[in-house]
Amino acid sequence: MSTSVKTSVGEPATTPATAPRKRPTRAPARTRSVVRHLALVAFLAVVVAFWALPMLWLVTAPFDAHPGLDVSWPDWTLDNFRKLSENPYAFSSLKNSVYLAGGTMLGVTVLAALAAYSLSRVRIPGRNGILYGLLLLSSIVTGTAAMVPIFQLMFQLNLIDDRSGVVLVLTGGLLPAAIFILKDFMDATPKSYEESARVFGARPTQVLRHVVMPIVRPGLATIAVWALVNVWSDFLTAYILLRDPAKIPAGVVMYTFYSEGGQANLPLISAFSLVYALPVVALYLFVNRRYGFRFHGGIKS
């Protein structure tokens, strides 16, 4: 005891008193950081394997001369795409998907923009009630919960097997959330531009077209992309409302390709899934580069 007092007080040549206590913990700390690093790498490897393994097939099988259900190094060929082009339903289904997605995107973006702008700028009687109702509706009445009455409604309206009917249903379903998001967006843009435009004598339509539109374009783009991806991926609505094989979109054709009895036609399925997936991947890359896939600030619906 006396020696320790002596060293700590009287001998500055040796290391300070804290050092002997610190040293034994440092070595484990280093191994701990190595262990931690290894654990991180292992975790990330598991993550990559878990997410990538099911998706790999989409990259290898379309180019394989003899695609199986497993992932394997392809016996390179483009023959599967030739087979795809000979299938009568593959191309027409993609056209139908373009029609449904394009029509819905247009309808949702235009109608939501008009409604959101009016709700943002004008105190329409019952405005808060409308917004509250829209927010609730968008989460409650989903395509799955309402599939029976929607089928029934379209049956009564004689719109079964009608692509425009599908566009109407999808537009109605996406509108509440679109209006809500766009209204938020418009609330955040200053009114002063519109006010000054009006001071200079612009009519409301001119204000809308030349002042408001350019400002809210990013918001409109968000809604357009969101609606597009939603409808492009849709399965259920088209599945219950369309019967004619010439009218069904890619999502439903994909399902019939693999769910119909007999041996699955893997060359066809693999090539088709890649072609059907590519627009979504391209949009993803575009949006990711342009805006980044991040939430900004608070998160709403």
Partner 1 sequence: MTVTSRASDPPPAHPPGPPPTRPPTRPSSRPSVDAAGLGRRRAAVLVAPALVLVTAFLVVPAVWTVYLGATDYRLTGIQAANPQFVGLENFREALVDPDFRNSLWLTVLFVLGSAIIGQTVAGFALAWTLRGVPKLVRSGIEMLVLLAWILPSSIVAFLWVAYLSGDGGTLNTLLHTPGTEWLLEHPMASIIVFNTWRGTAFSMLLFSAALGAVPPSQLESARLAGAGTFAQLRDVVLPHIRGHVLTNTLLISLWTFNDFSPYLLTAGGPNHASETLPVFIYNKALYGGQLGYGSAISFIMLVINLVIALFYVRLLRERR
CA 158, CA 181: separation in Å to the nearest integer?
A: 33
How is residue 265 annotated by DSSP?
A: -
199 binds partner 1 (CB under 8 A): yes
Residue 161 beta carbon to partner 1: minimum distance, rounded to whole angstroms: 14
How many Cβ atoms from other residues are within 10 Å of residue 41's Cβ?
10
Reading phi first (left if > 0) and then psi (alpha if -120 to 50, else beta), residue 221 is in alpha
Tokens representing residue 141 in the block? 């009445």
**Cα angle value 179/288/298 (rounded, 5°):** 45
Window of 3-11, 16-24, 84-92, 179-187 that interacts with partner 1 by CB under 8 A: 179-187
300 binds partner 1 (CB under 8 A): yes
Window of 6-14, 15-23, 48-56, 82-90 that interacts with partner 1 by CB under 8 A: 48-56
Tokens representing residue 73 in the block? 């190094």
Helix-strand-coil percent breakdown of the chain, rounded to 5?
A: 75, 0, 25
CA 278, CA 58: separation in Å to the nearest integer?
A: 11
Residue 73 beta carbon to partner 1: minimum distance, rounded to whole angstroms: 13
Residue 187 beta carbon to partner 1: minimum distance, rounded to whole angstroms: 6
Q: What distance lies between CA 119 and its chain's CA centroid?
A: 26
Residue 99 beta carbon to partner 1: minimum distance, rounded to whole angstroms: 16
Residue closer to partner 1, measured from CB, 57 or 89 = 57
Residue from 90, 100, 179, 268 in contact with partner 1 (CB under 8 A): 179
Residue 137 beta carbon to partner 1: minimum distance, rounded to whole angstroms: 5
227 binds partner 1 (CB under 8 A): no
Contacts to partner 1 from residues 235-274, by CB under 8 A: 235-236, 240, 250-252, 254-255, 258-259, 269, 273
Contacts to partner 1 from residues 69-88, by CB under 8 A: 69-71
